[in-house]
């Protein structure tokens, strides 16, 4: 049985409130459910009720939503997990990310590719880079993230199974990213507006195929058995997701390509 130790992260739930905290003996937690003394948790199992609080071992979603310090809009888990699926990320995968932001998706990539995989991420804005670096150092489990403060255009090493672009004008990086992708490698992007989608589609024709555009809606429901219905509020549009795969021309002997 896994038990709670000093400096472990715990998710504290009180009604509809959630808090991600480190178990620190000299700093009790003060919330609407009263005072929680962390020393009372040491040696106890996760998944317990302590006073008015429920104490859980944090999930990846908990860390992204309640632990990552945000200085930019993050890629929400409803989009992020699907991105990993569409990019075909798995143990040992190598992925390059253009636009680290706050590092939420970087953290998810790191978890998915595992200790034998690699995530190389670029962030040009110094303030965002410093914040992402702190988030990565705090939450990433393995040393599989190579974070750069700079432009991916200056990068000439390695080959990657997949790439993800999260910047205002992703088309600037199409040629560069394509040169870094392995054959048939997957490319993903997220943008907030339809105008950007149109621009991407006009510029993505050369060198990429199997192009898809989509958005993901997530609607939660109230968990009261006597009146089950949708929550009053819903985070609807978070971004348009675009996916494509690297495509190389192949000409058979004696044939001509039209």
Asked if 180 contacts 121 with a C-beta cutoff of 8 angstroms, the reply is: no
86 in the same domain as 204: yes
195 in the same domain as 91: yes
74 in the same domain as 52: no
Residue 254 has pLDDT above 80, yes or no: no
221 in the same domain as 177: yes
Residue 257 resides in a domain: no
- Tally the domains of the chain: 2
What mean pLDDT comes out for the span 30-38?
Answer: 94
Distance, CA of 131 to CA of 26 (rounded, Å): 26
69 in the same domain as 19: no
Residue 4 resides in a domain: no
230 in the same domain as 127: yes
198 in the same domain as 96: yes
84 in the same domain as 49: no
Indicate which CATH number applies to the domain containing 170: 3.40.50.150
**pLDDT, tens digit (0-9, with 9 covering 90-100), for 103-152:** 999 999 999 999 999 999 999 999 999 999 999 999 999 999 999 999 99
How far is CA 17 from each of CA 31, 60, 65, 77, rounded to the nearest angstrom?
10, 17, 12, 18
**pLDDT, tens digit (0-9, with 9 covering 90-100), for 183-202:** 999 999 999 999 999 999 99
107 in the same domain as 204: yes
| Residue pointed to by tokens 């058995």 | 225
Which pLDDT belongs to residue 249? 76
Instruction: Give the mean pLDDT of the chain.
Output: 94
Indicate which CATH number applies to the domain containing 41: 3.10.330.20
175 in the same domain as 49: no
Q: If we measure between CA atoms, which residue out of 245, 170, 242 comes closest to residue 213?
A: 242
Residue 163 resides in a domain: yes
Residue 34 resides in a domain: yes
Residue 1 resides in a domain: no
**pLDDT, tens digit (0-9, with 9 covering 90-100), for 93-105:** 999 999 999 999 9
208 in the same domain as 140: yes
Distance, CA of 181 to CA of 203 (rounded, Å): 18
Identify the domain containing residue 174 by its residue range.
Answer: 64-246
Residue 51 resides in a domain: yes
Q: Is the pTM here over 0.75, yes or no?
A: yes
Asked if 21 contacts 4 with a C-beta cutoff of 8 angstroms, the reply is: no
**pLDDT, tens digit (0-9, with 9 covering 90-100), for 45-88:** 999 999 999 999 999 999 999 999 999 999 999 999 999 999 99
**pLDDT, tens digit (0-9, with 9 covering 90-100), for 191-248:** 999 999 999 999 998 899 999 999 999 999 999 999 999 999 888 889 999 999 999 8
Distance, CA of 178 to CA of 13 (rounded, Å): 44
């Amino acid at each position: 049985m896994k038990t709670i130790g000093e400096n472990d992260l715990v998710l504290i739930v009180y009604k509809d409130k959630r808090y991600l905290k480190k178990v620190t003996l000299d700093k009790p937690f003060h919330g609407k459910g009263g005072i929680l003394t962390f020393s009372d948790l040491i040696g106890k199992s996760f998944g317990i009720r302590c006073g008015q609080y429920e104490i859980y071992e944090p999930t990846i979603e908990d860390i992204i939503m309640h632990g990552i310090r945000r200085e930019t809009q993050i890629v929400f888990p409803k989009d992020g997990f699907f991105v990993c699926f569409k990019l075909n990320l798995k143990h040992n995968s190598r992925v390059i990310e253009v636009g680290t932001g706050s590092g939420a998706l970087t953290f998810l990539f790191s978890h998915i590719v595992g200790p034998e995989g690699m995530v190389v991420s670029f962030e040009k804005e110094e303030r965002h880079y410093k914040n992402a670096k702190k988030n990565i150092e705090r939450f990433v489990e393995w040393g599989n993230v190579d974070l750069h403060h700079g432009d991916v255009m200056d990068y000439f090493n390695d080959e990657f199974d997949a790439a993800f672009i999260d910047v205002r004008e992703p088309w600037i990086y199409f040629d560069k990213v394509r040169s870094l992708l392995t054959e048939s490698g997957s490319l993903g992007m997220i943008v907030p507006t339809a105008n950007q989608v149109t621009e991407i589609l006009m510029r993505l024709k050369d060198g990429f195929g199997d192009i898809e555009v989509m958005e993901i809606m997530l609607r939660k429901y109230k968990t009261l058995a006597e009146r089950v219905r949708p929550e009053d509020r819903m985070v609807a549009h978070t971004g348009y997701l675009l996916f494509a795969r690297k495509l190389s021309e192949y000409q058979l002997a004696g044939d001509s390509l039209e």
